Homo-oligomer: A and B are copies of this chain.
């Protein structure tokens, strides 16, 4: 998967919000997951070294990232698990409703929707759209499947700004343009096509083919196998 390829710093949306680098933003959910595991285990304080062991990141990276959030650590003690989790959620905007639209209720959309429902956390898929009349009107993962012609009205009514595109490649550009026209400016695109959209729209592409191609590098024939004894 690749994020917006330009990388670099996210421009502050307004004067009031500090901007974190995109690469740091991508690590925040990693910390959240680790903190969740620690909280379930009853742990109240965690050191950067422990977080490093839980995340695979270095202690230095972790201290740097968390310092950007406002510095919750106490030197020689560590971070308060619950408080740090709350701060990260707040930084990501997950402390309130973050409705997401899902377009495409095929196998991929169904898997995404069920997984999202099972977590009962934000962001939450609040609207689903599909072009198949047989699916429209059914429920999937707690949300109603609507027709594609309802994208505009529904996205506007629910104030949705984030959407997941899980339609075949051929339909993705049209879907993306509809979503953007309705007010979405952050798209998670699973269709294997490059979307041509206004620069202010953030598109994060997930393409299995490209994932596998990149990973193939690490199993090249000239590399020794795991059993290469």
Contact = CB atoms under 8 A, between A and B. Distances in A.
Interface string A198-222: 0011101011111111111111111
Q: How many of chain A's residues touch chain B, expressed as a range?
A: 35 or more
A131 to B, nearest CB: 17
A14 B225 CA distance: 11
Contacts of A209: 29, 115-116, 119, 121
Contact of A221 (B26, B93, B183): B93
Given A115-B192, A201-B226, A217-B25, A162 B212 contact: yes
Interface string A46-73: 0000000011111000000000000000
Given A28-B214, A92-B213, A222-B16, A110 B107 contact: yes
A136 interface: no
Interface string A144-186: 0000000000000000011010000000000000001001111
Interface string A26-53: 1111101110010000000000000000
Of the listed residues A110, A192, A207, A220, the one surrounded by the most CB atoms of chain B closer than 10 A to its CB is: A220
Contacts of A112: 208
21 contacts: A1-B1, A2-B26, A2-B27, A5-B56, A6-B57, A13-B220, A13-B223, A17-B222, A20-B217, A26-B214, A28-B217, A29-B211, A32-B210, A33-B192, A34-B194, A92-B217, A96-B221, A161-B219, A164-B212, A186-B215, A188-B212
